[in-house]
Structure 1
């Protein structure tokens, strides 16, 4: 069995899995700066909601952005026990407690991916995965297809364009 995963990025970087993008440079919710990592979502809709953290309106998404679909065997995905999350895990700005979770997992190199809750969805009802690009089985993360990123024209239609 495999799990489909979704990533949004400029097309030229979509299949780059070195993990040395913005999260590597600046740190993010699940990693401190200097730790190679990739963030993918467990559904296309969650990937699109995660995008809203960075781009405030669908009409502002650059034309070069694509939604990439990947597959990873289920046995290469660890699942984090949500009962162990710090109370403020979804706060912004993110805190060191969540970065420590990711850092320890990356350093252990126990698997290719770790499934965690998405802070873009209330109460962590949807998930993301963090990918360890330094894991020896990173090659098992397979790129399947890409599609132009297109939000439904009715999204945010009540806002001024």
Structure 2
């Protein structure tokens, strides 16, 4: 499986959940490491773009192509498996607990969740503490210029 992640240039050479652990996010509390990726390039872009305006968009984003061997099983969840407020912003404690539990259980390396930003697409969350994480690798990194019309 190939997954995609947009990352600032200085962070695009390694896979780490440290950024999520610093601030927390939809699927993790502060202190919990998890790597957020997308099932396609467009979703990776949309997930980043919702946090910026044209004036605040950094110009050093890189698209990371991540390879996950097909035998690494993902836990798949549907909207009905999630807390009722899973789409809320700011991120509710209920979704953070959901992700925190996934990380601590260490049963799966991947968690496939529906995207809040793009209905019908999926994000894949990678647990860097899972035994199979060492088999996940970055296979390409390239400059990703945002089309400025997105922000008009």
- Asked if Structure 1 and Structure 2 have the same fold, meaning a TM-score greater than 0.5 normalized by the shorter chain, the answer is yes
Q: What CA RMSD, in Å, does the superposition of the two structures yield over aligned residues? A: 1.7
Contact 2:37 2:123 in 1 (8 A): yes
| 1:40 aligned residue | 37
- What's the CA shift for 1:20? 0.8
By how many angstroms is 1:117 displaced? 1.0
Distance 1:15 1:136 in 2: 21
What is the deviation of 1:152? 3.3
Q: Deviation per CA, 1:59-81, whole angstroms, max 9, x where unpaired?
A: 75323210111111233222123
TM-superposed deviation, 1:56: 1.9
Work out whether 1:140 is the aligned partner of 2:138.
no
User: Using a 3 Å threshold, how does the CA distance of structure 1 residues 139 and 154 change in structure 2: closer, same or farther?
Assistant: same
Count of equivalent residues: 151
Structure 1 residue corresponding to 2:17, chosen from 12, 19, 31? 19
Unaligned runs of 5+ in 2: none
SS of the residue aligned with 1:35?
Answer: coil
State the match for 1:72 in structure 2.
Answer: 68
| Runs of 4 or more consecutive aligned structure 1 residues displaced over 3 Å after TM superposition | 152-156
2:85 to 88, 104, 107: 88
Distance, in Å, in 2 between the alignment partners of 1:37 and 1:120 is 19
| Structure 1 residues not aligned, in runs of 5+ | none
Q: TM-score, normalised by structure 1?
A: 0.85
